[in-house]
Amino acid sequence: MPSDLCPDLQALAPLLGSWVGRGMGKYPTIQPFEYLEEVVFSHLDRPFLTYTQKTRAITDGKPLHAETGYLRVPQPGHIELVLAHHSDIAEIEVGTYSVTGDLIEVELVTTTIGLVPTAKQVTALGRFFRIDGDEFAYSVQMGAVGQPLQDHLVAVLHRKQ
């Protein structure tokens, strides 16, 4: 664990670093797809972790999605995530986390979604992270373009060596 990591974040220290892997997406309004992904958690000696995420197509390496944000722990067991997406969406998610040995589980629900006028209508988002040693699995749920909240993305990443 980094010696300069804020004490509030120590339980989440196993997130720090780069994670790479593959994921799959689906939604009623699009064709199912697969993607390659890299997620990076880092810190700036402040009471939050920084988060960046990039995906690209498996077939041709073309960029698909990117988001960046900040994750903080306002009190033990509680977590907040602020994100900006490349697709004209900003979101605030709040939730809980638990740590059992090497296992960290995080569950987040969006409380606020900001959209630029030309963005697709996204009405709900939620995330679940499961970090077990050097494996980071997640799922994302989305409600958008008239569809209810439902499964959208699932991925398994591994710590980049």
Q: Tell me if 158 is assigned to a ligand binding site.
A: no
d(CA 22, CA 28): 21
Distance in angstroms (rounded) separating the CA atoms of residues 145 and 89: 14
Backbone angles phi, psi at 4, to 5 degrees: -95, 10
Radius of gyration of the chain (CA): 16
Cα atoms found within 13 Å of the Cα of residue 114, Cβ hemisphere only: 8
Tell me the three-class secondary structure of 9-29, residue by residue. HHHHHHHCEEEEEEEEEEECC
Report how far residue 66's alpha carbon sits from residue 36's, in angstroms, rounded to the nearest whole number: 12
CB 3 within 8 A of CB 137: no
Q: Point out the annotated binding site for heme b.
A: 152
Q: Which residues are annotated as a binding site?
A: 152
